[in-house]
Structure formats: C-alpha cells, structure tokens
Chain A
C-alpha cells in the first residue's frame, strides 16, 4: 500500500464535477483506474480532464470544487494496492 498524490497539470479552476448538475467524478472511497478522470481544470476557455494517474482508492480530496489551482498542486490522494 502506498499513497500517491494527484497533481493538477495546469493552472486554473479545478472542478470536482463534469458539469454543475452532475455528480462528482469521484468521492472519498471511490475505486479508480489510472486513466479515469477525477477532475477538470478550466483554463483558456478550455476544460482539461485530470486523470487519476494510478489505480487505487481515493483517500482524500484536497481542494474544494472550483478552487484556484497552480501547476503541480496536489488535488487528491489515492492509495494504491501495490
């Protein structure tokens, strides 16, 4: 077991939901695959999906919905099974 942080690759606004009227991508306890989207960053009138990067279980969400983030800022913690 090891904990990995998901980092925002971009500066911008970080969203936990694909759209305001939709449920969040993940919640604490969600099991994710490496290529699964866990959030969106809005910048330059574009929305870029943020992938989990590793397979495992989401143990913490470190930012609020629509938080301002910088490149490399940790947004989530994922516990991997290896």
Chain B
C-alpha cells in the first residue's frame, strides 16, 4: 500500500493539521498552510480531517499508486489527470493499482492538496505527521518529497464520489484583503507609517514559503527613539520578543513579512500587526504578484471571523460526510 513519487513538483511535502503546543520551545505549529483545503480533501476520501496529505505549492507532483484506493484533490485550481484522463477537483475518485496521477499548470490559488484514503502513513513526531523542513523532522524523512520516494498509506476503503458543493468551494483571487489586528508594536510607527501600512496596496513577492510571505511596497516610517539596551540599531528593531503565527514584521521598514505556519518563534523585529487566524488559509493560496491590502479589525471581529470559519467547516462536513 504505497504511492511512488514520479516527479515531486517544486516543494511537495506531507502535512496534517499541525503540532500545536511546542512553539514555546521554538517548534512551530506547522500543518497544512491551507488547513481547510487539507481537511476537506480528507473528508472527501472518508478520512478524519487530521490525516496526512501532500501539500504541493505552485506545481503538482506526479504519483503512481501500487494499490486500489480513493483520492481527492483540493486547494489551488489545477487540471488533474489520472492516466492522462481528466479528473475533477473537490470530488473523490477511485484509483487502481498502477494508475498515475498528474497535474497541469496551476490556474488559481497557490497550494494543491492531495488526500488518499487512510492518509499518508509517515511516523508521528511530537503528535503530528507534518513536515518541518527547517528542523529536518516530521513528514517523510523530515524533508520535501523527491523523485523515487515511496510513501506508505494507511489501510482504509475510502469513499469515492463524495463532492463538495460548488457554493462551498473557495474562490481564489489575485487581489485580496487580509484582516489584521494591529499591535503589539504598531506604536513604533508614525501616524503616516500606520496609514501607509493600511492604505497601500502590497504586492506579494516570490520570497514566500511556509515560514513567511514577503510583500513589496512603500517604506514605513518609524518614530525616532533611543536604541534600547538589547535591541538592534535599526528603528524596526525591538528587544527580542515572541512572534505570533500570522504576525507582520517589517525589517528596516521595507517589505513586510507575514510569518506563516512554520514561523520562527521569536526575534528582534517589531510586529506591527497580526493576520487573523481565519485569513491564514487565504494567505496560503496567494501567489507572487497578488495585490494585497491589510484591513484593521478588532479582536472581537477576529474572534467572530474565527467562529464563522468554524461554521463554514461544519457546513463542509455536513455537505460532504452524509
């Protein structure tokens, strides 16, 4: 019961819903960059939401199955083929021993998720099968997938023919608004700097991965200050502090970076705001050149958005798992 990687794509790797609880010792939560797409792929094939899937940024892999199983592909919009015959996304389908799954050019979004019935059965490390590439552990041998890798899959019958209804599918845009809660260090910006952060249209740069997404745009203005003991000399430096996942740091006042699920846990750059948890999946589906605006919301609005995201997932479950 295995899947062989014929072509790995760009940086395909194994992810599940992550390993929260170790960030205090420097190990990020990880998990699928788009948690909802991964959870949905699992539900389509009949897995628990937390089973391990393949995450493929920008470019799909080619896979060969040695066993009959059930597959679903979610996330970024991409032509899917099984033995060169088209297959749908957001819908589970059966595969036979020897079948080859491959992908065309990505048309929208950024990350493709591939679930198989039973999940990819790599070892659990600190409670999760997610790959933490920087740390070299989790997933398949702690690294991105390479040609010739043979991935074990769990035993399960699977459920072909499950479909996520059209109205529940995400729509990926090249112009997005990301909701942020300002702080903790936005007081280090001048009023003009804060206005610039929220009024500018930022462009996602190619320098973006599971650790962080960098944006280009104007420079932000900081308030002059006497360099505190323990902080670097640049006005964007602070005395080291913990970095929330989703926090936006602006080294040197240029090119804001949104830390994503493989974030480093702390450092010495002022965080001017934090992207709310409900919008982190949206960040994961942005590609270079995506026009981005940061919209300031309150903590209450962020919590409402999180509740709405959970309600959406419940709706997905109700629609798919009947």
A residues in contact (CB < 8 Å) with B: 7, 9-13, 42-46, 48, 68, 70-72
Contact = CB atoms under 8 A, between A and B. Distances in A.
Interface stretch (B22-30, B121-129, B201-209, B230-238): B201-209
B209 A11 contact: no
17 contacts: A10-B10, A10-B58, A11-B106, A11-B288, A11-B289, A12-B58, A12-B206, A12-B288, A42-B206, A43-B288, A44-B206, A46-B10, A46-B11, A48-B10, A68-B288, A72-B104, A72-B107
Contacts of A72: 104-107
Given A10-B10, A13-B288, A44-B10, A71 B206 contact: no
A42 B214 CA distance: 14
Interface string B99-118: 00000111100100000000
A41 to B, nearest CB: 8
Contacts of A44: 10-11, 57-58, 206-209
Nearest to B11: A44
Contacts of A42: 206
A71 B58 contact: yes
Given A45-B209, A46-B11, 11 more contacts: A10-B58, A11-B106, A13-B206, A43-B10, A43-B58, A43-B206, A43-B288, A44-B58, A44-B206, A44-B209, A71-B107
> Main SS of the interface on chain B?
loop
A71 to B, nearest CB: 4
A74 to B, nearest CB: 11
B77 to A, nearest CB: 11
A10 B86 CA distance: 21
Interface string B13-25: 0000000000000
- Complex A-B, nearest 4 residue pairs according to Cβ-Cβ distance, in ascending order: A72-B105, A71-B105, A12-B206, A11-B287
Nearest to A10: B58
B59 interface: yes
Contacts of A48: 10
B216 to A, nearest CB: 11
B289 A68 contact: yes
Interface in B204-243: 206-209
A34 B11 CA distance: 24
B241 to A, nearest CB: 25
Most chain B beta-carbon contacts within 10 A, residue among A42, A43, A46: A43
Contacts of B104: 72
A44 B287 CA distance: 10
Nearest to A68: B289
A69 to B, nearest CB: 9
Contacts of B207: 44-45
A11 B58 contact: yes
Contacts of A45: 207, 209
Contacts of A71: 58-59, 105-107
Given A43-B10, A46-B11, A48-B10, A70 B287 contact: yes
Contacts of B57: 44
A48 B11 CA distance: 11
Q: Count chain A CB atoms within 10 A of each CB in B59, B107, B110 and give the residue with the most.
A: B59
A45 B257 CA distance: 14
A63 B288 CA distance: 16
A42 B207 CA distance: 8
B118 to A, nearest CB: 29
Contacts of A7: 105
Contacts of B206: 11-13, 42-44
A77 B192 CA distance: 47
A13 B107 CA distance: 17
A45 to B, nearest CB: 6
Contacts of B110: 11
